[in-house]
Chain A
């Protein structure tokens, strides 16, 4: 294990922002790069990386990494925002994950993205632990941007229950995942449950997924038990969104993973001051709850649930 400062950015009145990376295995090889928190609220994503660093250190110690395996883990690239409780770059509220591949002569967050990208570039595989933009819980999955360069079946080797292919919108073309893919790295975004608070079992699942992937690719000799369910590959469009009509208090009657049949009541929206039921949210197909909105308050026209049809 070798710790290195990947880059430093000076800030007015605060200590320099030093982004640290941890290298494992063969320093000549760039097999896998892993990024944790890019946004200031991605505490779980940082925690997963910390646990992955412990696991990789043990594997390296035990000689379980293959000779041609070289790994870089960057648990947090944005303590500048995390330390002040902000999600985006705290000076101008821009999202570093909308600045890739970066520009080293550009604005501050374009420069940060350029530094991060050059540190992470050139690996065969890239993993980003990331967070969903809606408040809610979802089933663990790997997300892949469809760029034409992706090899989606390879993602099944993580052994997470689902691999989801997403067709990029124009605004996705500046994410790390998209640009990694364009620049010859097979890029995977791994979504596990929590974001701003730590979920240990979800973190174990994420670390295990990376270990399983390394083993499947011949990059490590540490075998990981097969997943309980066979992973499946699907397109994002396959998910059914259940949109609300009313706004109010959301009372959930189900959780991600639950099986549902058409007509099942998944939740109710209550008038927030009287408790009267304004709307019942019913399943429109049989399948599994994939996403459940977490916040107590919900507006009209928001996705309260997403169902993965059978």
Chain B
């Protein structure tokens, strides 16, 4: 059933409405959330596949699934990452407040709607600059509780990252702090759909539901992921501005000393910089957007300090 989570009038003849699709009833509750960043669309495919699959097989659903495909409807509809009303990153406005201005009110109402779920999955798609393999990201402080759930998600990599105060304003942090286990998925690239990643995650969501006792049909086996902390991740940043031309494929295994790509200058025909892989391992992040500046992230490799 399509439900309205929050409605706020806009200036001229339109309301901002955030909707969810509630499928099933009673029992455990799973929230699948996406579209917080309006330029991240990989979750759209997952939301659609999941809703369709559950509608087609209601007899196997033992519980409630709430699907929120667009937490930031104005952003998704206008190709804008942030909430276009205030240019604020919505994922820095949680937990919000009931009597704050619009962005805080929206954040508060969303949290209130999701809190108490047995698991929440918040699907992101990197940004337009970087392509990511499907992964679960977990704050080290919540690892003990979340890693066992994340292992069911059929994603190859679980990145346990350090805590940062600024990240306390995210949806995931706020829900976890309210005792609602929330997993953040990052996959693919902004403004695109990667069907294979979406299918992979759908299998993972059904497997997690099966594990939680919410889905009684047989599920496909999931491969055990690599679980890793910050210490095993190496970063490569550009040190020169220009156009980045990769020489490796995303998601490949790379060797220390291997060339990852070049930053080139189309005006002069020169190579400004050759980027060398600092460690052997899995190239799980690779620059997608060619224009780079000093500092632009080019790649992340898993296996760095192993």
Contacts and interface: CB of A to CB of B under 8 A. Distances in A.
A105 B12 CA distance: 46
Contact of A301 (B92, B102, B294): B102
Given A12-B241, A173-B165, A247-B10, A299 B293 contact: no
Contacts of B292: 12
Contact of A303 (B8, B101, B168): B101
A233 interface: no
Contact of A249 (B11, B169, B241): B11
Contacts of A109: 295
B200 interface: no
Contact of A111 (B13, B82, B165, B294): B294
Contacts of A92: 127, 129
B296 A299 contact: no
A170 B169 CA distance: 6
B241 A10 contact: yes
A108 B242 contact: no
A272 B105 CA distance: 24
A300 B9 contact: yes
A247 B8 CA distance: 8
9 contacts: A93-B81, A93-B82, A108-B293, A273-B12, A273-B13, A297-B11, A300-B8, A300-B9, A301-B8
A107 B237 contact: yes
Given A12-B243, A171-B166, A300-B9, A243 B87 contact: no
Pick the most buried of A9, A92, A110, A171: most chain B CB atoms within 10 A of its CB: A171
A87 interface: yes
B297 interface: yes
A11 interface: yes
B36 to A, nearest CB: 15
B16 interface: yes
Pick the most buried of A241, A247, A249, A272: most chain B CB atoms within 10 A of its CB: A247
Given A12-B242, A92-B129, A243 B11 contact: no
The 3 closest A-B pairs by CB, nearest first: A170-B168, A297-B11, A247-B9
B270 interface: no
Given A246-B9, A299-B10, A300-B9, A10 B240 contact: yes
A297 B12 CA distance: 8
Interface of B: 8-13, 16, 81-82, 85-88, 92-93, 99, 101-102, 105, 127, 129, 165-169, 235, 237, 240-243, 267, 291-297
Given A107-B295, A173-B165, A300-B10, 14 more contacts: A9-B293, A9-B294, A10-B294, A11-B293, A12-B292, A92-B127, A105-B237, A110-B295, A246-B9, A248-B9, A273-B12, A299-B9, A299-B11, A301-B8
Contacts of B295: 106-111
B187 to A, nearest CB: 20
A273 B237 CA distance: 52
Contacts of A299: 8-11, 16, 85, 102
A110 B127 CA distance: 17
Given A12-B242, A87-B87, A171-B92, A107 B102 contact: no
Interface in A122-151: 133-134
Contacts of A13: 267
A2 interface: no
Nearest to A106: B295
A174 interface: yes
B269 to A, nearest CB: 15
B101 A241 contact: yes
Contacts of A106: 237, 295
A91 B241 CA distance: 12
Interface string A240-279: 0101011111000000000000000000000011000000
A60 interface: no
A300 B166 contact: no
Nearest to B243: A12
A49 interface: no
Contacts of B291: 12, 91
Pick the most buried of B85, B105, B169, B293: most chain A CB atoms within 10 A of its CB: B293
